[in-house]
Structure 1
Amino acid sequence: EPPSSEDLDPSPHTDAPPDRATCPTPSSMKSQQIQEALADAGIPAVFTGGQGIFSSPAASAWLGLLDAVLDPRLPRLLQLSESPLIGWTPQRLARALDDDRFGLMALIKLVREALETTGPTAAFELLAARTELVPRLLSSTAAGERLLTDLRQVTERLDEAARVETLDLVALRGWLFENIGSAGNSPDDDAVRRLETDLPAVTIMTIHKAKGLQFPVVALPDMASRFVSVKPPDRLRRTLVHENGELVLDVFGDLDARRDDTKLAEEQAEDLRLLYVAATRAQSRVIGWWANTQRTTDSSPLHRLVASRSTQGQPPPVSIPAGRDPQGWLLDRRLVEVVSVPRAGGLLRAPAPAAPSIELVARVFHDTIDRGWARTSYTRLTSGAHEATGADPVPGGGDEPELDTSVLAPDHGHDSAIPDDATALAGLPGGTQFGSLVHSVLEQVDPASEQLDSELTSAAQQMLARWPVSDVPAATLASGLAAVVRTSLGELTDGRSLADLGAGNRLTELEFELPMGSPGPRHTLADLAALWSDPALVPADDPLAGYGPVLSRSAVSGEQLAGFLTGSIDVLLRVPARPSEAPTRTGPRFVVLDYKTNRLPVAPGEQLGSRHYTPEAMRAAMIAAHYPLQALLYTVAAHRFLQRTVRGYRPESHLRAVGYLFVRGMTGSPSEADATRLPGVFIWHPRAALIEAASQLLAGDRRQ
Structure 2
Amino acid sequence: MKHFDIWATPLDGIRLIDASAGTGKTYTIAALVLRLLLEKRLRISEILVVTYTEAATEDLKARIREKIRDAQRVFQGGETDEAFLRDLSGRQEDMDAGLEVLAEALRDYDEASIFTIHGFCQRMLMDNALEACTFFDSELLSDTRGLLEEIAGDFFREHFYQAGILFVEYGRKFFNTATVLKYIGQSHSRPDLEIIPAFAEVDPHEITLAEQEFSQLFSAAVESWHQARDHIYSILMNDPGLSLSKYKKSNIEPWLAAMDGMLTMPTPTVDFFDKFEKFTTGHIEASVKKGHVPPVHPFFDVCENLGQARSRLLDLYDKRVKHLRRKVIEFIRRELLVRKRQESLYSFDDLLSELSRALAGPSGKSIADNIRKKFPAAMIDEFQDTDPVQYEIFRNIYGAEGLLYLIGDPKQAIYSFRGADIFTYMEASQKAGSRATLVTNWRSVPELITAVNTIFTRPQTPFAFSAIIASAVRPPVEVRQAKLLIDGRDESPFQLWIVRREQDPENKSTKLIAKERARKRILNAVVHEIIRLLTLGHEQRAMIGNTPLKASDIAVLVRTNSEACLTQQALAGCGVVSVLHSNASVFLSPEAGEMQRLLLAVADPGNERKLKSALVTDALGLKGADLDEIDENRWLDRIASFRGYHDQWLRNGFIGMFRAFMAKESVRSRLIACKDGERRLTNMLHLAEILHKQETERHLGMAGLLKFLNEKINSPQADEEEYQLRLESDRDCVRIVTIHKAKGLEYPVVFCPFSWGGVRSGKPGTDKPVVFHDPQNSNALIMDIGSENIEQHKELALLEEISEDIRLLYVALTRASCRCYMVWGALSGGEYSAPAYLFHQVKAATPSRMMEDTANRFKSLADEELIADIAALEQASGNTVVSTRLPSGKPGQLSLIQPHETRLEFKAFDGVISRNFRIASFSSLVQEHGGADILDYDSIHKASRDSETTPGAVAPESAAIFSFPQGAGPGTFMHDLLEHYDFTCEDRQVLRKLVRDKLQLHGYAVSWEEAIVAMVDNVIMTPLLADDPECRLSQVSGPARLNEMEFYFPQVSVSAGAIKAIINRGGKRSSGVEDNQVSHGFGAKTLEGFMKGFVDLVFQRNGRFYIVDWKSNHLGNRVEDYSQDRLRKIIRDRSYDLQYHIYTVALHRYLGSRLADYEYLKHFGGVFYIFLRGVDKSRGPGFGIFHDRPEQELVLELSNIFAGHCRQ
Instruction: Give TM-score, length-normalised by structure 2.
Output: 0.39
**Alpha-carbon distance change, 256 to 153 in structure 1, aligned in 2, over 3 angstroms:** closer
Equivalent runs, 1:666-677 vs 2, <5 Å = none
| Corresponding residue for residue 496 of structure 1 | 1028
- Once the 2 structures are TM-superposed, how far is the Cα of residue 193 of structure 1 from its aligned partner? 1.3
Q: Retained in 1: the 8 A contact 2:1144–2:1195?
A: yes
1:271 is the counterpart of 2:271: no
The amino acid that maps onto 1:210 is A
**Alpha-carbon distance change, 344 to 684 in structure 1, aligned in 2, over 3 angstroms:** closer
3-state SS of 1:289 partner? strand
| Corresponding residue for residue 922 of structure 2 | 377
Equivalent runs, 1:271-350 vs 2, <5 Å = 271-291=805-825, 293=826, 295=828, 300-302=833-835, 305-306=838-839, 318=854, 319-320=857-858, 321=861, 322-323=863-864, 324-325=867-868, 326-327=870-871, 329-332=873-876, 334=878, 336-338=880-882, 340=884, 343-350=887-894
1:61 is the counterpart of 2:594: yes
- Once the 2 structures are TM-superposed, how far is the Cα of residue 27 of structure 1 from its aligned partner? 2.9
The amino acid that maps onto 1:301 is A
Equivalent runs, 1:325-474 vs 2, <5 Å = 325=868, 326-327=870-871, 329-332=873-876, 334=878, 336-338=880-882, 340=884, 343-354=887-898, 357-359=901-903, 370=915, 373=918, 375-377=920-922, 381=926
| Corresponding residue for residue 121 of structure 2 | none
Of 693, 706, 715, which residue of structure 2 is paired with 1:173? 706
The amino acid that maps onto 1:273 is R
Q: Retained in 1: the 8 A contact 2:1062–2:1197?
A: no
Q: Retained in 1: the 8 A contact 2:1057–2:1083?
A: yes
The amino acid that maps onto 1:344 is S
| Corresponding residue for residue 137 of structure 1 | 674
| Corresponding residue for residue 521 of structure 1 | 1053
Q: Retained in 2: the 8 A contact 1:236–1:254?
A: no
1:556-595 C-alpha deviation (Å, 9 max, x unpaired): 36354555454768x978664xxxxxxxxxxx23566899
Q: Retained in 2: the 8 A contact 1:137–1:148?
A: no
| Corresponding residue for residue 1104 of structure 2 | 589
Of 646, 651, 655, which residue of structure 2 is paired with 1:116? 646
Equivalent runs, 1:82-93 vs 2, <5 Å = 82-88=616-622, 93=624
- Once the 2 structures are TM-superposed, how far is the Cα of residue 338 of structure 1 from its aligned partner? 1.4
1:318-359 C-alpha deviation (Å, 9 max, x unpaired): 245342345554435556141535743223544544357133
Q: Retained in 1: the 8 A contact 2:922–2:1139?
A: no
| Corresponding residue for residue 196 of structure 1 | 728
| Corresponding residue for residue 86 of structure 2 | none
The amino acid that maps onto 1:650 is E
1:10 is the counterpart of 2:511: no
Instruction: Give TM-score, length-normalised by structure 1.
Output: 0.62
- Counterpart-to-counterpart distance in 2, 1:76 and 1:623: 44
Q: Retained in 1: the 8 A contact 2:1095–2:1107?
A: no
1:697 is the counterpart of 2:1177: no
Gaps spanning 5+ residues in structure 1: where? 403-416, 426-431, 451-473, 490-494, 577-587, 597-607, 671-677
**Alpha-carbon distance change, 109 to 355 in structure 1, aligned in 2, over 3 angstroms:** farther
- Once the 2 structures are TM-superposed, how far is the Cα of residue 111 of structure 1 from its aligned partner? 5.0
**Alpha-carbon distance change, 635 to 255 in structure 1, aligned in 2, over 3 angstroms:** closer
Over aligned residues, Cα RMSD in angstroms? 6.6
| Corresponding residue for residue 46 of structure 1 | 579
Of 721, 734, 743, which residue of structure 2 is paired with 1:211? 743
1:113-143 C-alpha deviation (Å, 9 max, x unpaired): 24313345246425742896235423xxxx3
1:351-392 C-alpha deviation (Å, 9 max, x unpaired): 5443571335799999989478464438965996999xxxx9
**Alpha-carbon distance change, 43 to 399 in structure 1, aligned in 2, over 3 angstroms:** closer
Q: Retained in 1: the 8 A contact 2:1100–2:1106?
A: yes
3-state SS of 1:151 partner? helix
Equivalent runs, 1:240-255 vs 2, <5 Å = 240=772, 243=775, 247=779, 249=782, 251=784, 253=787
Q: Retained in 1: the 8 A contact 2:585–2:724?
A: yes
214-223 vs 557-566, which moves further:
557-566
**Alpha-carbon distance change, 59 to 532 in structure 1, aligned in 2, over 3 angstroms:** closer
Q: Retained in 2: the 8 A contact 1:510–1:572?
A: yes
Q: Retained in 1: the 8 A contact 2:559–2:738?
A: yes
1:526-562 C-alpha deviation (Å, 9 max, x unpaired): 26746998xxxx8x999999999978x9943635455
3-state SS of 1:179 partner? helix
Equivalent runs, 1:473-492 vs 2, <5 Å = 489=1026
**Alpha-carbon distance change, 624 to 18 in structure 1, aligned in 2, over 3 angstroms:** closer
Gaps spanning 5+ residues in structure 2: where? 1-442, 444-479, 493-531, 537-548, 649-653, 944-949, 956-961, 987-1010, 1112-1119
- Once the 2 structures are TM-superposed, how far is the Cα of residue 53 of structure 1 from its aligned partner? 0.8
- Counterpart-to-counterpart distance in 2, 1:487 and 1:258: 74
Of 641, 666, 680, which residue of structure 2 is paired with 1:147? 680
- Counterpart-to-counterpart distance in 2, 1:660 and 1:263: 64
- Counterpart-to-counterpart distance in 2, 1:153 and 1:208: 22
What percentage of aligned pairs have identical amino acids? 19
**Alpha-carbon distance change, 310 to 692 in structure 1, aligned in 2, over 3 angstroms:** farther
- Once the 2 structures are TM-superposed, how far is the Cα of residue 81 of structure 1 from its aligned partner? 5.5
1:37 is the counterpart of 2:570: yes
- Once the 2 structures are TM-superposed, how far is the Cα of residue 52 of structure 1 from its aligned partner? 0.4
- Counterpart-to-counterpart distance in 2, 1:67 and 1:680: 38
3-state SS of 1:174 partner? helix
Q: Retained in 2: the 8 A contact 1:77–1:104?
A: no
Equivalent runs, 1:67-86 vs 2, <5 Å = 67-69=600-602, 70=604, 82-86=616-620
- Counterpart-to-counterpart distance in 2, 1:573 and 1:259: 60
- Once the 2 structures are TM-superposed, how far is the Cα of residue 196 of structure 1 from its aligned partner? 1.9
| Corresponding residue for residue 581 of structure 1 | none
| Corresponding residue for residue 26 of structure 1 | 559
The amino acid that maps onto 1:336 is T
- Counterpart-to-counterpart distance in 2, 1:3 and 1:154: 41
- Counterpart-to-counterpart distance in 2, 1:545 and 1:502: 22
| Corresponding residue for residue 410 of structure 2 | none
**Alpha-carbon distance change, 548 to 189 in structure 1, aligned in 2, over 3 angstroms:** farther
The amino acid that maps onto 1:694 is L
The amino acid that maps onto 1:633 is I
**Alpha-carbon distance change, 368 to 181 in structure 1, aligned in 2, over 3 angstroms:** farther
3-state SS of 1:137 partner? coil
3-state SS of 1:219 partner? strand
| Corresponding residue for residue 202 of structure 2 | none
| Corresponding residue for residue 601 of structure 1 | none
